[in-house]
Amino acid sequence: MNRVATVGRVDHRLDAADGAAGLLRAAADLPDDAARAEIDRWVAGRGGPAEALVEALPEVDDTARALGFRALLRIGAGAADAVGTLAGHDELDPWVAVWRVDAAVADAAEVDCAGDPERFVRLLGAVLGLWGPQAVTGWVAPVAGKARPAVMTGSAWRVRRPETETVLAAIGSLHPDETVSRAARKALFKHRSSRGS
Query: pLDDT tens digits for 6-32?
Result: 444 444 455 545 689 999 999 999 998
Query: pLDDT tens digits for 171-184?
Result: 999 999 999 999 99
- Residue 196's pLDDT is 53
- Rg over alpha carbons for the chain, rounded to the nearest Å, is 18
CB-facing half-sphere around the CA of 195: CA atoms within 13 A: 12
Query: pLDDT tens digits for 123-160?
Result: 999 999 999 999 999 999 999 999 999 999 999 999 99
CA triplet 159, 94, 167: central angle to 5 degrees? 45
Query: pLDDT tens digits for 99-128?
Result: 999 999 987 788 999 999 999 999 999 999
